Each structure stands twice: as C-alpha cells, then as structure tokens.
Amino acid sequence: MQVPLFPLRTVLYPEGPLPLRIFEPRYLDMVSECLKNDSCFGVLLIRQGSETGPATTCNVGTLARISDWYQGSDGLLGVTAVGENRFRLLGAERRKNGLNVGEVEILPEQACVALPEEFTPLAKVLSGVLDDLGRLYEGLERRYDDAAWVGYRFAEILPITPEEKQACLETDDALRRLRDVRRMITAVEASK
C-alpha cells in the first residue's frame, strides 16, 4: 500500500485526534487528494530534521483520515484528522513537489483487551481529563473498558517526550503500555 507521508514532531495513535495547520503547497496538495479520494496519509515521528525541511523518521506510524477542515482567518488551512491503523514504513520516495510517499505495511490491529481492575482509577482520571479538553475530544467514542484505548489516550495527552510517545505507539501489548503509562504519570507527578 502506498500513502503520502506527513513527518511531524508528534505521534498519532489509532482513534486519536490530530489538529493540523497546513500552509506548504505539498501538503495542501496532499490534503486535496485525500479529501477527493477519501484516502489516508501516514503520520511518522521525526527523529532528526524538521517539519518544513528534510527529516529522518521512525518506521512505525499511524494512518490518518481527515474528518474536518476549515479555512482559518489567517488564510491557513485547518485540518482535523483521526488516527486509524498503525503501519510500518517499508520504503519511501520524494515526489517532484517535495511530498514524501511511502510503501507501508499495515500492522495487525490490537485486540480489545478488557481493562483490568487495577487500572480502573486511570480510566476514571482519563474520563475527567478528556471532558476538560474540549472540542477536539467531543466527538471521540469513549471506551474506558478497553485497555488499548485507555493507554493510547493517556499516551497522547501526557507531557512526555516524543520518543516516549513513540515507544507507546510501537508497544503491541496493551497491558504493558498501561503499566508504562502509569509509571510515566508517577514520574510527571513527582517532577511537579
């Protein structure tokens, strides 16, 4: 499967929201093509480089589908995308317009794992936090009984490094991800 790639200094998770401000012609073209064809683009974390120049990325990312768009008062295109499947980048090439396109392999979906009782307090905290985050999370289907879903939501909102967020994306074990998230929450609280 071949998809346009959008390297960012952020990590997108399955079912997670991604607000973007688009101004580069290559990405305006990408958004137009994705909307026209109802297709996805791939989001990959930048390891080295920048969002507007050459970049080296991680090999595991998430497909994103545009769910909403608007023209901002500053003339920039605002886009909200939602994460779908995780993927592994097999190879990439750069088009003449500067857009990177990658050959990707869709990774198996993680099975729904019932949230163990020991993580119920985390789900309760998450419920309150998501309610306070406003519009970006309003339409998000809430599944507080799904260990993978709870782990992904915490990983995307915690103030942790992009590398820690990437490790959460690459973790195939939902319960291990939750244990890692709980450890990160403890570290964030201790640093206050």
Q: What is the mean pLDDT of each run of 10 residues along the chain (192 residues)?
A: 96 96 93 96 93 86 96 89 97 91 94 92 93 85 95 94 96 94 88 79
- Compute the Cα dihedral for 124, 127, 129, 131 and give only its sign: negative
- Output the pLDDT for position 74: 86
Q: How far is CA 58 from the centre of its chain?
A: 13
- Taking every pair of Cα atoms in the chain, the longest distance, rounded to a whole number of angstroms, is 53
In three-state form (DSSP H/G/I as H, E/B as E, the rest C), the secondary structure along the chain is CEEEEEEECCCCCCCCEEEEEECCHHHHHHHHHHHHHCCCEEEEEEEEECCCCCEEECCEEEEEEEEEEEECCCCCEEEEEEEEEEEEEEEEEECCCCCEEEEEEECCCCCCCECCHHHHHHHHHHHHHHHHCCHHHHCCCCCCCEHHHHHHHHHHHCCCCHHHHHHHHHCCCHHHHHHHHHHHHHHHHHCC
Residues 15/85, Cβ–Cβ less than 8 Å: no
- Output the pLDDT for position 32: 94
CA nearest 40: which of 4, 88, 76?
4
- Output the pLDDT for position 111: 80
Domains of the chain by range and CATH? 2-106 (2.30.130.40), 117-190 (1.10.4060)
**How many of the other CB atoms lie within 10 Å of CB of 10?**
14
DSSP bridge pairs for 64:
41, 83
- Output the pLDDT for position 100: 92
- Output the pLDDT for position 30: 95
- Output the pLDDT for position 20: 95
- Output the pLDDT for position 192: 75
CA 34 – CA 77 distance, rounded (Å): 14
